């Protein structure tokens, strides 16, 4: 593949709601550009970007895929991203290294939640946007409603550049408003045609809006506009480019990915209006790993090399690929680069340009371009690789918190090691996967972004690593404690010929008032009734006792234990005997001191649009939550609440359902507090059944 200077590169993240036609549009662009002889179809599993077995099986994009396309002496690095929210990790990675976003809207479905999310992701990274409304060949498409919805959400920056030409309600072409020329679809190409009569009322407002936007980009153009002078096409296109790059203009183009209509115009618009890496990122700033000082990284091939790994592909058969964007310099085969995050040197043996699953080996990747390293073992997503003479750490990829979780149970006993190895490989590929060992409940907890994400992890384990698992509801880490003060005697006496065993303690147990601490031990023994050398044995007896309470076998917390008195035998007493005597005293005291079950309470922050606030508060109340307050945040409400963690299982799915995926939340453990009687009875009954 030809090497392109950064001025001729466009790094474009393709974003939109799940099922809106992103992959079909990318496939159409590849076909129009001559990459394929026959356009692939999502339904057939034959597209360039959906090549993973899970994607083919399910007919949806799960991973971000790179599809470089050469068009009009430029290279379009299209990053086709998943639209389903469970796979947002790959979207975040793609947007992190893109210089612009192509937001696809289905004409049949209109503006959806995924459209809003796409705008959000692009705005977070401050990259310009172009909107493409596909499915215009569907007679039910209402372009005006889509434009109205976009303007209501994003204001006057929305600028439609094309007005559809319809004959008998069928979409047969469009008017290119900046050029004031007609375009008619003829079989597999587009022909120029006159602007049809009777379209002035439609075209006039659109043309006026574009000219106003053009005038606002420059004072000289503003004077020309007010003087009633016509702009040249070059002035219009230059001003549009400036407006797009400044993010004051969001062009809206129309067509159909399925029928290849409007695709050529779209690609030309991406080349013409979207920023090149050097233009958008004249420089970015990283930090010196030693001092934390800012380091300027210019998009210049003469500078030392700097690259960011934004995605990892792990496959048992083809090995590991690390996709990277070069921010400065040139990365060549046989270069030795510093991995700033891992603090080790990496030798580059093979460099590829990936086009879907196709691997095109190249000798070098220049500043502004995207490539892939093969088989770099110690390189992970988010790592910065750079020339040793200029160490710099670039900002990595910011992933959403993974809050959907289930416990992993092997289908076949003895597969634990294979499962751990498989999950480790999948975590390299997808940083939104997390595995936590719950030693207390002897469970391995698998975390993901949503239930579909977890389901696909299980499917990948089976397909790629030949190991089967079941996912079940995890156990909640309850605790046990006491509510009143008691004094008991614990005596362990055993005679078995020869030396016997004798330990005798009188102890006082009372609530500590601190459920973060298991127990506090004190001794107030007078007169040597229990020799000092047995005190550590009594404390050790306590350490073992609090591991398991008598109500449901959960760990015990919040107890103060005081050794008051006791007795000993000069021959038969031992540390073991006093430890066992303490355990007897503990059990006796626990049953007398009003034992109770404690449940973990989480601090929950839910961020939702105002319209959903009532539903969310009602749902939190059903979960026995206490709403502590609300905080308005730019058109949304942040609801602060405390909720029992046992009631939060499955909340990520429920919240998505209640808010049409517009809500998000975070959760962290706060403290333990006494569970209601009915909860205690249910938990104890379930625990008894397990045993």
Measured at the alpha carbon of residue 482, what is the angle toward residues 479 and 483, in degrees to the nearest 5? 125
For residue 36, what pLDDT is reported?
Answer: 87
Neighbours of 614 (CB within 10 A): 9
Residues 6+ apart with CB under 8 A from 522: 560, 561, 562, 563
For residue 505, what pLDDT is reported?
Answer: 93
Neighbours of 303 (CB within 10 A): 18
How far, in Å, CA of 109 to CA of 650, rounded?
28
For residue 358, what pLDDT is reported?
Answer: 87
The b/e string for 560-576 (b: 16+ C-beta within 10 A; e otherwise) is: bbbbbbbebeeebbbee
What confidence tens digit (pLDDT) does each residue in 177-226 have?
Answer: 888 889 888 766 778 888 988 888 888 888 888 888 788 877 888 898 88
Neighbours of 432 (CB within 10 A): 20
208, exposed or middle or buried, with CB in 10 Å at 0-12, 13-18, 19+?
A: exposed
Residues 6+ apart with CB under 8 A from 50: 23, 42, 56, 60, 61, 65
Contact (CB, 8 A) for 243 and 249: yes
Residues 6+ apart with CB under 8 A from 686: none
Strand spans (E) along 226-383: 250-254, 283-287, 294-298, 306-315, 319-328, 330-332, 336-339, 344-347, 351-355, 358-362, 364-366, 370-374
For residue 217, what pLDDT is reported?
Answer: 77
Contact (CB, 8 A) for 412 and 367: no
For every residue of 488-522, DSSP letters joined together read EEEEEEE--SSS-EEEEEEEEEEE-S-TTSSEEEE
Closest listed residue to residue 306, CA positions, set 229, 412, 385:
385
For residue 76, what pLDDT is reported?
Answer: 97
Residues of the chain with pLDDT under 70: 187-188, 280-282, 316-318, 496-498, 691
In angstroms, how far apart are the furthest CA atoms of the chain? Answer: 117
DSSP H helical segments within 125-199, as ranges?
Answer: 143-154
Contact (CB, 8 A) for 183 and 190: yes
C-alpha gyration radius of the chain: 33
How far, in Å, CA of 13 to CA of 414, rounded?
43
Phi, psi of 293 (to 5 degrees): -75, 150
How far, in Å, CA of 307 to CA of 386, rounded?
6
Instruction: Estimate to the nearest angstrom the gap between the alpha carbon of 124 and the chain centroid.
Output: 14
How far, in Å, CA of 420 to CA of 444, rounded?
10
Three-state DSSP string of 232-262: CHHHHHHHHHHHHHCCCCEEEEECECCCCEC
- Tallying the residues shown for the chain, one arrives at 691
Contact (CB, 8 A) for 289 and 392: yes
How far, in Å, CA of 380 to CA of 359, rounded?
20
Query: Encoding tokens for residue 197?
Result: 């009569």
Three-state DSSP string of 178-203: CCCEEEEEECCEEEEECCCCCCHHHH
Contact (CB, 8 A) for 114 and 83: yes
Contact (CB, 8 A) for 488 and 587: no
8-state DSSP, 414: T
**Which residue in this structure is represented by tokens 């009631």?**
647
- The H or E element spanning position 590 is helix 575-592
What confidence tens digit (pLDDT) does each residue in 313-366 have?
Answer: 987 666 789 999 999 999 999 999 999 999 999 999 999 999 988 889 999 999
For residue 498, what pLDDT is reported?
Answer: 64
Residues 6+ apart with CB under 8 A from 614: none
How far, in Å, CA of 313 to CA of 375, rounded?
10
How far, in Å, CA of 479 to CA of 596, rounded?
9
For residue 104, what pLDDT is reported?
Answer: 97
Structural domains in the chain, CATH included, are 6-279 (3.40.50.300), 283-386 (2.40.30.10), 405-425+433-472 (3.30.70.870), 479-593 (3.30.230.10), 597-690 (3.30.70.240)
Contact (CB, 8 A) for 563 and 530: yes
Contact (CB, 8 A) for 21 and 262: no
């Amino acid at each position: 593949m030809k090497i392109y200077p950064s001025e001729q590169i466009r790094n474009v993240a393709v974003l939109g709601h799940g099922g809106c036609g992103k992959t079909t549009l990318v496939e159409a662009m590849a076909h129009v550009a001559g990459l394929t002889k026959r356009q692939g179809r999502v339904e057939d599993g034959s597209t360039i970007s959906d090549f993973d077995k899970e994607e083919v099986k399910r007919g949806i994009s799960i991973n971000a895929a790179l599809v470089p396309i050469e068009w009009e002496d430029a290279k379009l690095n299209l990053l086709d991203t998943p639209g389903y929210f469970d796979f947002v990790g790959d979207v975040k990675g793609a947007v992190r290294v893109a210089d612009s976003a192509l937001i696809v809207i289905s004409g049949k479905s209109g503006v959806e939640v995924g459209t809003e999310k796409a705008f959000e992701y692009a705005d977070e990274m401050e990259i310009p946007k172009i909107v493409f409304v596909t499915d215009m060949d569907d007679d039910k498409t209402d372009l005006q409603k889509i434009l109205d919805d976009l303007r209501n959400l994003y204001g006057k920056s929305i600028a439609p550049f094309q007005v559809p030409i319809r004959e008998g309600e069928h979409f047969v072409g469009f008017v290119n408003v900046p050029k004031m020329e007609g375009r008619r679809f003829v079989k597999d190409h587009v022909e120029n045609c006159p602007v049809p009569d009777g379209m002035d009322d439609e075209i006039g407002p659109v043309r006026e809006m574009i000219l106003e936007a053009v005038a606002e980009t420059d004072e000289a153009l503003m004077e020309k506009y007010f003087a009633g002078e016509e702009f040249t096409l070059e002035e219009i296109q230059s001003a549009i480019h400036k407006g797009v790059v400044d993010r004051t203009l969001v062009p809206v183009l129309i067509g159909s990915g399925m029928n290849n209509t409007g695709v050529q115009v779209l690609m030309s618009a991406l080349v013409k209006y979207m920023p090149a890496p050097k233009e958008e990122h004249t420089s970015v700033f990283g930090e010196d790993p030693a001092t934390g000082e800012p380091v300027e990284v210019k998009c210049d091939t003469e500078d030392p090399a700097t690259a960011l790994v934004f995605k990892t592909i792990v496959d048992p058969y083809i090995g590991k690929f690390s996709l990277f964007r070069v921010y400065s310099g040139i990365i060549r085969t046989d270069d030795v680069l510093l991995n700033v995050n891992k603090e080790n040197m990496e030798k580059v043996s093979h460099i590829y340009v990936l086009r879907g699953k196709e691997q095109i080996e190249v000798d070098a990747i220049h500043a502004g371009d995207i490539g892939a390293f093969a088989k770099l073992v110690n390189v992970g997503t988010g790592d910065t690789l750079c020339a040793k003479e200029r160490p710099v750490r670039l900002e990595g990829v910011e992933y959403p918190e993974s809050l959907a979780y289930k416990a992993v149970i092997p289908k076949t006993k003895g597969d634990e090691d294979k499962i751990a190895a498989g999950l480790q490989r999948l975590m390299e590929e997808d940083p939104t996967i997390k595995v936590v060992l719950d030693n207390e409940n002897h469970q391995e907890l698998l975390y993901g972004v949503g239930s579909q994400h977890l389901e696909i992890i299980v499917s990948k384990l089976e397909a790629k690593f030949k190991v089967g698992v079941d996912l079940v509801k995890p156990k909640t880490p309850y605790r046990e404690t006491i509510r009143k003060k008691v004094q008991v005697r614990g005596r362990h006496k055993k005679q078995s010929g020869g030396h016997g065993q004798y330990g005798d303690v009188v102890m006082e147990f009372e609530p500590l008032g601190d459920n973060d601490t298991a127990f506090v031990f004190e001794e107030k023994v007078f007169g040597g009734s229990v020799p000092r050398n047995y005190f550590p044995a009594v404390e050790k007896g306590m350490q073992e006792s609090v591991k398991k309470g008598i109500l449901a076998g959960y760990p015990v917390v919040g107890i103060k234990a005081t050794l008051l008195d006791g007795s000993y035998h000069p021959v038969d007493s031992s540390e073991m005997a006093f430890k066992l005597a303490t355990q007897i005293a503990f059990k006796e005291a626990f049953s007398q001191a009003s034992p109770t079950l404690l449940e973990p309470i989480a601090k929950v922050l839910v961020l939702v649009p105002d319209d959903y606030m009532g539903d969310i508060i009602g749902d939190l109340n059903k979960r026995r939550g206490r709403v502590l307050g609300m905080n308005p945040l730019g058109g949304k409400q942040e609801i602060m609440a405390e909720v029992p963690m046992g009631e939060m299982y499955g909340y990520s799915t429920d919240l998505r359902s209640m808010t049409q995926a517009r809500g998000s939340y975070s959760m962290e453990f706060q403290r333990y507090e006494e569970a209601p009687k009915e909860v205690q009875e249910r938990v104890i009954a379930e625990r008894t059944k397990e045993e």
